[in-house]
Amino acid sequence: MAEQPSPVPRLVLPAGKTGDAIIAAALALGSLLLYVQTFSFGFVDYDDPEYVTANPVVRHGLTPVGVKWAFTTTTFANWLPVTWLSHMLDCELYGMNGGGHHATSAALHAINAALVFVLLRMLTGSRWRSAAVAALFAFHPLRVESVVWIAERKDVLSATFFLLTLIAYARYCRGPSARRYLLVVAMYALGLMSKTMLVTLPFVLLLLDYWPLGRLRPAPSDDRLASPPSIPGHIRRLIIEKIPLFALAAISAVWTVVLQRQGGAMVGGSKMELADRIANAFVSVPRYLDKTVRPVDLSVFYPHPGHWPAWQTAASAVLVFTITLFAIVAARKRPYLAVGWLWFLGMLVPVCGIVQAGLQSMADRYMYLPSIGLFVAVVWGSADLLERLPRFRSLLMPASVAVVVLLAVCTWLQESYWQSTLDLFTHALVIDPKNWVAHDFVGLVHTAGGDDAAAIDDFKRAVAANPEHPYPHENLADSLMHLGRYDEAVEQYRAALSLQSDLEPARAGLARAMAAKSSPPLTPQRVNTKAR
């Protein structure tokens, strides 16, 4: 008699809702514990002052004046009232204790990890595949920037409403009603008021209609002959159903573009040709894939090169189109591949750089929600493959645990770089010694510590790496002023103003430098240098 193979070891949990609740709780608790070291971290001088520490309205906590301001301000060229209220609530609870603010972000991320599991469990009915996707999402190092950077509270907060919107939509599809649909719209509106990156959510819903909801298949009673040949009736109904959501997305997108143009957020991007911005969009896709597979050398800022080599752009475009074509062709038998890949690509569209806002070429935080699509494709694809290879099925559990543990270790290490502004940008310089933003911020740290000689070296490196941005010139001029080197300071202030004529701090600094040249003070006057 042939020897029977030993059974595959399985983790046995209660069936139904009890087992699911245990998994969701474990994911949430594990995610929270992974970020517990950040509860002792403070703020960093990169956007945190504008959002919290140097924002007098936010610092006062939840007040009538603050609530009104949250719904009327367009600070940072965005309208994010829910995010502002979140920061105000933290200040109400914790004051300026940075650890409390970090704890809130970590708690939101823990909730999001559980919600990813709940969502996929509702949509697909698969417990362990859903748990695997949620674990990859929760413990991946690419989550660190969104969770640990207090100024990026909008990432984790908007993700909570994003996932709640999808869960509400899944409930609506099971039993459509006006009340359930209004809940979908309400959750989506709150998400957009947290971060406008969610403008692509209606398209994600259409993907879910295809798989796993299966709503794109015509109902038996559909009269195909009565439907327009271009858009079948059942598809047309699904699009019409989402018109309120598309309307909210369109209003939010247009309003954000207008605000960012008025606020100067697109100044850096306006100098780039459309071809360069499209090239960066293609090149960023394999870079994000690489960071997902090999989460090493993660940085708070990835400088935009301005122009990518033609070969790199062409190779990236070929890769994107090849994977997309493969996913679409394979969709009939493996629909999760198309849904996961298009989820990833689609959610990157608002931040891929075609409409350039900011000076970065990519950012870890942009992968917070798009990565879910990738993980769905990978987990479902791997599980289906192993079903055809029963000999390797016993390796599934230990391999999955090993991957999650490895990711958690990398995440813990990546968090440690956020302990201070100096640690954060010193690490960025280890990754890229020509990172001009990192040099600029390290110089600002030296300036705040009174070491202008060290600051000047970093500001000069920042200027050399990017002579087209005014702030390094201005910061260099300020440090030169502190040391009484007025002629050099005048030169740098003028360079800053030639790049941005309305830069009032540089204009005031130039006036001081010119006056000091005419009548040098006995002791150079220190000016306040602000982080950009």
- The residue ranges of every structural domain in the chain are 17-219+231-416, 433-518
∠55-61-66 over CA atoms, to 5°?
70
- What pLDDT, in 10s, does the model give residues 209-253? 999 999 987 655 444 333 333 456 678 899 999 999 999 999 999
Instruction: Using a pLDDT cut of 70, give the percent of the chain over it.
Output: 89
Percent of the chain with pLDDT over 90: 76
Model confidence band, residue 359 (pLDDT cutoffs 50, 70, 90): confident
Which residues 6+ apart lie within 8 Å of 264 measured at CB?
A: 77
pLDDT digits (tens, 9 = 90+) for 466-477: 999 999 999 999
User: What tokens were used for 354?
Assistant: 């075609």
Whether 119 shows a pLDDT value over 50: the answer reads: yes
CA atoms within a 13 Å half-sphere pointing along the CA-CB vector of 235: 13
Distance (Å, rounded) from C-alpha 527 to C-alpha 521?
A: 14
State the average pLDDT over residues 264-277: 65
Higher pLDDT, 71 or 274: 71
The per-residue pLDDT for 263 is: 62
Say what the pLDDT of residue 6 is: 38
Ranking 215-219, 276-280, 371-375 by mean pLDDT, the lowest is 215-219
Q: Which segment of 120-124, 268-272, 379-383, 442-446 scores lowest on mean pLDDT?
A: 268-272
Query: Is pLDDT of 372 > 90?
Result: yes
Q: What is the pLDDT of residues 143-155, one digit of tens each?
A: 999 999 999 999 9
Q: Which long-range contacts (CB under 8 A, 24 or more apart) does 214-218 make?
A: 215/173
Within 282-392, strands assigned E span 302-303, 360-362
The pLDDT of residue 268: 43
Question: How does pLDDT run across 33-67, given as a tens digit for each residue?
Answer: 999 999 999 999 999 999 999 999 999 999 999 99
Query: At 52, is the secondary structure helix, strand, or coil?
Result: helix
Name the DSSP class of 51: I
Please tell me the distance from the alpha carbon of residue 470 to that of residue 252, in angstroms, as a whole number.
Answer: 30
Which residues, 6+ apart, have CB-to-CB distance to 336 below 8 Å? 211, 212, 376, 377, 380, 381
Neighbouring CB atoms inside 10 A of 231's CB total 12
433-518 fold: 1.25.40
pLDDT at 11 (0 to 100): 57
If you average pLDDT over residues 113-122, what whole number do you get?
98
Grouping H, G, I as helix, E, B as strand and the rest as coil, residue 434 is coil
Residue 398 has a pLDDT of: 85
Evaluate whether 206 touches 267 at the Cβ level (below 8 Å). Answer: no
Mean pLDDT of the chain: 90
Coil/strand/helix, residue 312: helix
pLDDT at 225: 35
DSSP-H helix ranges across 39-80? 48, 56-59, 64-72
Report the 10 Å Cβ neighbour count for 14.
Answer: 10
